[in-house]
Structures are given as C-alpha cells and as structure tokens.
Amino acid sequence: MKILLIRHGMTAGNLKKRYIGRTDEPLCPEGISALRERRFPQCDVIVSSPMQRCIQTAGMLFPGMNAEICDAFRECDFGLFEGKNHTELNGNPLYQEWIDSAGEMPFPEGESPDAFRRRCCGGFLAVTQKHQSAESMAMIVHGGTIMSVLSYFAKPQRDYFDWMTENGRGWCCQYDGHTLIVTERI
C-alpha cells in the first residue's frame, strides 16, 4: 500500500512556534495560501486527525473525498506548555526539567511522550488493517504523529526528531503490513 503521511497546513500557533496540541486551531491565511500551491497524488482512502487544522487540510488537498477521522492521530497534550513557545517558557523550572530530560518526561499536567507515541502507532495499525485492501492512503495528521509513526515503523530507521516535517509537507511510503519504506519527501 502506498501511504502518504502529510502534516496539516500552518496555523497561527505554528507561525509563533507555540506548542499547539489540544488547542483546536484552524488554518491561518498563510497556511491556506501555502496549501493551495501543494499537489499530492490522489489516494483511495483519506484519514485525518479530528483536529480542524487537519480536517481543513484534508479538504483542501483532497477535495470531494470524505476523510475518515482517527482520534488516535490527535496531537500530543502539552499540558502546562500548551499555547506557549520556547521564549515564553524560558526560565520556567518545569520547562527546564522537561528540556533536560531530552523531551522524554511527561508534559506537566499533559501527556507522556511514550503514551503519545503508542497511541499514534496504535492508530496507524488500526487504520491500515481496516483498509488493508486499499492501494493507497493519505493520513493528514500532526508533526508529532508523523514522527511517532516513522520512528517506529520506517526504514531506514531514524530517531523521532529526525522525522520533523514542515507544515503542508510529508512523506511518501510503501507499507507491507509491517514496515514503512520511505520512498520520498513530499
């Protein structure tokens, strides 16, 4: 199966480099404009995070197709860091502790990175199994979701942060039911 993993278009929070997880932001005008320039191959199945930024992106990139919603693909809950950026958090002892953990400890009053990654990978397995007879699928999701799925399933294998993906961009992969072979950056 050909799988496209696509990060949603830009939001106002993305422009300001904020941690935007559970906040249900729409696309910003700059994000909408950038997506109008993007072209992706058509796919048999479209799957989206339940967040409006992903649903809007799916509608723009794949007009006329209904996106199936996968709740497991929602972005991480950043807890007390939600809506803030590095500059605003700089000097916060909880933020420094999280930075010192290399981003591995749970977000204060939020989700643990490990639980988030397991949730995303479980969602990936569920939707690919459900649609195993499809020839192609596009997943319109969040940067963290893409990093979770690719760091676990992809070949060549890379670390989580090596799979960072810009808004409105993604990866084309071939999936055999076990391994994602990354064929190109899109």
Tokens 């910003």 -> residue: 28
Query: Quick one: residue 10, left, alpha or beta (phi over 0 = left, psi -120 to 50 = alpha)?
Result: beta
Tell me the pLDDT tens digit for each residue of 95-127: 999 999 988 899 999 999 999 999 999 999 999
Strands 45-48 and 170-175: unpaired
> What is the torsion angle, in degrees rounded to the nearest 10, for the CA atoms of residue 156, residue 111, residue 82 and residue 75?
50
DSSP result, 52-117? HHHHHHHHHHSTT-PPEE-GGGSPP--GGGTT-BHHHHTT-HHHHHHHHTTT-SPPTTS--HHHHH
3-state secondary structure of 177: coil
Vertex 37, ends 32 and 38: CA angle to 5°?
Answer: 95
The matching CATH number, chosen from 3.30.230.10, 1.10.246.90, 3.40.50.1240, 3.40.50.300, for 2-185 is 3.40.50.1240
CA-derived radius of gyration, the chain: 16
Residues 6+ apart with CB under 8 A from 76: 21, 107, 110, 111, 113, 116, 142, 144
> Is a pLDDT exceeding 90 seen at residue 156?
no
Q: Encode pLDDT of 82-95 as tens digits.
A: 999 999 999 999 99
Q: For 31-72, how does the pLDDT look when each residue is reduced to its tens digit (9 = 90+)?
A: 999 999 999 999 999 999 999 999 999 999 999 999 999 999
Please provide the average confidence, as pLDDT, over all residues in the chain: 96
Helix then strand count (H, E) for the chain reads 7, 7
Q: What is this structure's pTM? A: 0.95
Domain residue ranges in the chain: 2-185
Q: Which of 128, 135, 133, 134 is closest to 177 using CA atoms?
A: 128
Q: CA-CA distance, 64 to 42, in Å (whole number)?
A: 11
